[in-house]
A = this chain, B = another copy of it.
C-alpha cells in the first residue's frame, strides 16, 4: 500500500471548507459577469518557450512529460504559473474570432514549483479579470478594472464577512521615470530591489541599491523617499515634486496615477490610495500597477494584484495592450478556513433526510425524495433502515436540518418541532435550503 500523506503546498479542503470556496468563487464569477466579462479557460499546460520567454520565472515552472514519451515529437510543456501568460497566448491564437476590446475572466488552478512556505502554495486557485484591446486600449480601463475587482471583493465582505479590501496603486512610468531622472541606467533593477521593501526593510534595500547597483547614498535615499509616499488623494504629486527629480516619463506617470486614483476615488471613495512603494515583481507591467490588502490581514500580503501591460501579447502585426487584476483565492481563503474564521452551515448540500423504516419502504422514500427534489430541495434518503433516533443522529452529524418520517411528518432537528407536511407543498425557509457561509464571531 502506497503511503498516504498530504503533499506540502497542495492544499485540499474537507467538504465544509470546499462549500465555502465554491460560494466565494460563485460570488466572484457573478460580479465579473455583471460587468460583462466572459469566461474562458485555458489548458493547464503551455509550451516551455511561452512560459519562460519573460525570464526570471523559469525556476518555478513544473515541467510535464509523458511517462513513456517516445522521443522528440512532443512540444516541451509546463504547467501554467499564472493566468496572464496563457491568456496572452489565447488572445493571439484566437484573435480572428474575438471582439476587441475583449473582456474575460478566468478562474483556474495554477502551479508553481517553489518551496512551500506560509501562505504560498504549489497549487492554488486564481481568479483573473482582464480587458485587452487590439492596437490600443483607453486609459479608463485602468479605472474600470480595479473598480470591478473592488466590487467583487466588497461583495465577499458583505455576503460572507471577509475583511474589507483596499487597493494600493502605483505607476511604472512614475517609478522608472524617477529612477531614470536620478541617473540610473537599469531602472528595472532598482524596481526589483524596492519590491523587497516589505520583506527586508529600508536599510537592506538601501544597501543593495548602493552595493549591488553602485548608486550613491543620496540616490538610494531618494528611492526610499519615493517609496514612502502614499496618499488617498492627489497630494502625492507635490510630495514627489519636492524630491527634486525631473524626467518626462516621471511627469507622464504622475499624471496617469493622479488621474486613475482620482477616478477610482470618485466612483468608490476610499477604495484606492496612491502608494509609491508598490512595484510588482513581474516585468511585463508598463503603467498602472495594483496591490490589494485586507484590513487586519496586511501581513498576508496582496490578495489581488495586477496592472497595465502594453506589450505582453503581440503577433508581429498587432499588439494587444491590456490591463487586469488577479485574486489569489487560495491565498485569501486557506488562512481564513484554517483558522475557522469561515465555515459552512453544514457539511453536505442535503436539506432533508428522508427516513427509511425498512428496506421494503425504500422505493416509497425514494419517490418522496424525487418529489421534493423536483421543487429544488436537496434531499438524501437514509442509507440504512433504522430506528428514528439513529436517523436523527445521521442527519445531526452532517448538519442536515430536517428529517422526513414515513408518518408524513417533518422534524426540524434543531428545534425539535415536528409537523405534518405535504411533500408537494412543504418548503424549507430559504436560509435552510442550501448550505451557507458562516463567519465565526470574535
Contact = CB atoms under 8 A, between A and B. Distances in A.
Interface stretch (A28-36, A234-242, A270-278): A28-36
Contacts of A53: 2
Interface residues of A, number: 97
A5 B75 CA distance: 11
B67 A64 contact: no
A398 interface: yes
Interface string A27-68: 000000111111111111101011001000011111111111
A436 to B, nearest CB: 14
Number of copies: 2
Given A39-B22, A67-B78, A397-B99, A45 B14 contact: no
Contacts of A49: 2-3
A144 B141 CA distance: 51
Interface stretch (A215-223, A376-384, A406-414, A416-424): A376-384
A359 B6 CA distance: 54
Given A97-B14, A111-B44, A113-B66, A373 B35 contact: yes
Contact of A68 (B40, B59, B376): B59
Interface string A114-150: 0000000001000000000100001011001000000
Contact of A14 (B79, B94, B267, B380): B94
B349 A36 contact: yes
Nearest to A43: B10
B384 A138 contact: yes
A94 to B, nearest CB: 6
A104 interface: yes
Interface string A411-442: 00000000000000000000000100000000
Contact of A38 (B39, B58, B90, B347): B347
Interface stretch (A168-176, A247-255, A362-370): A362-370
Contact of A62 (B40, B67, B350): B67
A43 B363 contact: no
Contact of A123 (B43, B50, B349, B381): B43
A196 interface: no
B378 A12 contact: no
Contacts of A34: 349, 373, 376-379
Nearest to A316: B1
A314 interface: yes
Contacts of A133: 383
A92 interface: yes
Nearest to A31: B373
A36 B351 CA distance: 8
A420 to B, nearest CB: 24
Contact of A12 (B43, B263, B267, B398): B43
28 contacts: A1-B314, A3-B49, A4-B93, A7-B75, A13-B41, A15-B39, A15-B40, A18-B39, A19-B38, A33-B434, A34-B376, A34-B378, A36-B380, A38-B348, A44-B79, A44-B123, A61-B66, A62-B66, A62-B67, A66-B113, A69-B113, A99-B397, A99-B398, A103-B348, A103-B380, A140-B359, A140-B362, A267-B363
Given A4-B92, A133-B383, 12 more contacts: A10-B43, A12-B40, A15-B38, A15-B40, A22-B39, A34-B379, A35-B373, A38-B347, A44-B109, A65-B65, A99-B397, A267-B363
Interface of A: 1-7, 10-15, 18-19, 22, 33-45, 47, 49-50, 53, 58-69, 75, 77-79, 89-90, 92-94, 97-99, 101, 103-104, 109, 111, 113, 123, 133, 138, 140-141, 144, 263, 266-267, 314-316, 347-350, 359, 362-363, 366-367, 370, 373, 376-381, 383-384, 397-398, 434
